[in-house]
């Protein structure tokens, strides 16, 4: 297996991708991720809003252990959750296109596409930015699932079918390279949002954006001193739920995100139906070198069976109505302890 993965018309070196974050906000960051072996790298998002760029000035990061201890940036450990505030890249579009072009050129020589990303504010402006990006990168991500959209008007999180369809259709009309649409997990029916994005022209759908988060410190304040965006290993089953449900319902290539830290996590995303998996927090904790181990582990496990493995978990997954009674009842040992038996 050479590891190549095709997603929505884009061929990538392998299914382990780097998601958009401050780690992919510079030419050096993009190149470091490419050189560490990523299958593809999604650059930090931009949009037309000066307020979204100013929001980066208040960016902050709290890493939270499984027992609730808060660690500052630089002291995180594997398994920690991440609560943060963030903003968009603080650079003019022309300068950003130069950075993207440099990263894309470096990646192309190594089979690793560098993907431009737009976090939605105004759909018309996103279309104009997407058209410019398509001149220098092989694919564009439209992020309409940013959790910060619930806190800052400079970005938007879309959770209604019609709004998703209209935004994607507007950007699709302007972009002549593969268009990937990243959706929120915080919606009543994410499958319906994916269907709307696909019908409006999305070549692939990313599932799912991080969740809103809040962590009081019990001393009259809260971690970060504000609301934030949350990701942790505990988010993994929630993200996999929507990946599996969407894979079962729609014919659309899927990109998994939110919760993958280990080789097993990546494989679970693939088994649920994703064709590629974005990682971010693992790189905050361990640096780009984390990618080398992830790629090697996924390749070793899959051997030559990557295509067959995608969605394989769905073959024996049943709806509640089709699950036979559990005998003896699974709850019996728990209630027996309370009854003294």
Summary mean pLDDT of the chain: 93
CATH code of the domain in which 280 resides: 3.20.20.70
Partners of 5 in the β-ladder: 12
pLDDT band at 331 (very low <50, low <70, confident <90, very high): confident
Looking at residue 48, the DSSP 8-state letter turns out to be S
- Taking only the tens place, the pLDDT of each residue in 10-24 is 999 899 999 999 999
pLDDT band at 337 (very low <50, low <70, confident <90, very high): confident
pLDDT of residue 2: 57
Strands 204-207 and 211-213: unpaired
Q: Is the pLDDT of residue 329 over 60?
A: yes
Distance CA 30, CA 44 (A): 9
Mean pLDDT, to the nearest integer, of 70-99?
91
Q: Is the pLDDT of residue 3 over 80?
A: no
Mean pLDDT, to the nearest integer, of 111-128?
96
* Count of domains for the chain: 1
Q: What is the SS3 assignment for 218? A: coil
More confident residue, 207 or 5: 207
CB 326 within 8 A of CB 290: no
Q: How far is CA 306 from CA 3, 41, 270, in A?
A: 8, 20, 9
Quick one: residue 332, left, alpha or beta (phi over 0 = left, psi -120 to 50 = alpha)? alpha
Query: What domain range is 211 assigned to?
Result: 5-339
- Taking only the tens place, the pLDDT of each residue in 50-73 is 888 988 999 999 999 999 999 877
Mean pLDDT, to the nearest integer, of 273-291?
95
Q: What is the largest CA-CA distance in the chain?
A: 73
Q: What is the SS3 assignment for 117? A: strand
- Taking only the tens place, the pLDDT of each residue in 93-114 is 999 999 999 999 999 999 999 9
Q: Is the pLDDT of residue 1 over 60?
A: no
Q: Which of 256, 277, 269, 272 is nearest to 317 (CA)?
A: 272
Q: What is the SS3 assignment for 89? A: coil
- Taking only the tens place, the pLDDT of each residue in 289-303 is 999 999 999 999 998
Q: Is the pLDDT of residue 225 over 90?
A: yes
Q: Is the pLDDT of residue 176 over 80?
A: yes
Q: Is the pLDDT of residue 339 over 90?
A: no
pLDDT of residue 213: 94
Give the global pTM.
0.94
- The structure tokens listed for 146 are 């940013």
CB atoms within 10 A of CB 109: 8
Distance CA 159, CA 327 (A): 41
The residue length of the chain stands at 341
Q: Which of 147, 150, 142 is nearest to 126 (CA)?
A: 142
pLDDT band at 340 (very low <50, low <70, confident <90, very high): low
Distance CA 41, CA 110 (A): 12
pLDDT band at 231 (very low <50, low <70, confident <90, very high): very high
- Burial of 277 per CB tally in 10 Å (0-12, 13-18, 19+): buried
Mean pLDDT, to the nearest integer, of 267-285?
96
Q: Containing H/E element for 143? A: strand 140-143
pLDDT band at 149 (very low <50, low <70, confident <90, very high): confident
Q: Which of 207, 230, 271 is nearest to 19 (CA)?
A: 207
């Amino acid at each position: 297996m050479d590891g190549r993965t095709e997603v929505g018309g884009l061929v990538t070196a392998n299914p382990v991708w780097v998601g958009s974050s401050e780690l992919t906000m510079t030419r050096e960051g993009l190149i470091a991720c490419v050189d560490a072996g990523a299958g593809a790298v999604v650059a930090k998002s931009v949009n037309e809003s000066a307020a979204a760029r100013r929001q980066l000035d208040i960016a902050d990061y709290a890493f939270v252990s499984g027992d609730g201890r808060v660690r500052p940036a630089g002291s995180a450990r594997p398994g920690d959750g991440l609560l943060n505030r963030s903003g968009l890249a603080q650079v003019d579009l022309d300068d950003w296109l130069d950075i993207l072009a440099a990263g894309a050129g470096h990646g192309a020589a190594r089979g690793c596409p560098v993907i431009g990303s737009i976090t939605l504010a105004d759909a018309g402006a996103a279309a104009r930015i997407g058209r410019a990006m398509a001149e220098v990168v092989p694919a564009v991500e439209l992020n309409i699932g940013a959790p910060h959209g619930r806190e800052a008007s400079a970005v938007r999180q879309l959770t209604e079918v019609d709004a998703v369809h209209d935004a994607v259709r507007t950007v699709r009309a302007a972009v002549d390279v593969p268009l990937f649409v990243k959706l929120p997990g915080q919606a009543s029916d994410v499958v319906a949002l994916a269907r709307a994005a696909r019908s409006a022209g999305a070549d692939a759908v990313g599932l799912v954006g991080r969740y809103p988060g809040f962590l009081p410190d019990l001393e009259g304040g809260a971690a970060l001193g504000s609301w934030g965006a949350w990701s942790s290993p505990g988010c993994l089953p929630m993200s996999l739920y929507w990946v599996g449900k969407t894979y079962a319902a729609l014919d659309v290539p899927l990109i998994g995100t939110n919760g993958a830290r280990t080789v097993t996590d990546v494989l679970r995303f693939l088994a649920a139906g994703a064709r590629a998996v974005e990682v971010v927090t693992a790189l905050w904790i361990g640096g780009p070198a984390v990618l080398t181990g992830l790629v090697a582990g996924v390749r070793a496990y899959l051997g030559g069976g990557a295509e067959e493995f995608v969605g394989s978990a769905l073959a024996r997954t049943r709806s509640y109505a089709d699950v036979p009674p559990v005998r003896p009842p699974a709850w019996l040992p728990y209630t027996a302890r309370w009854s003294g038996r």
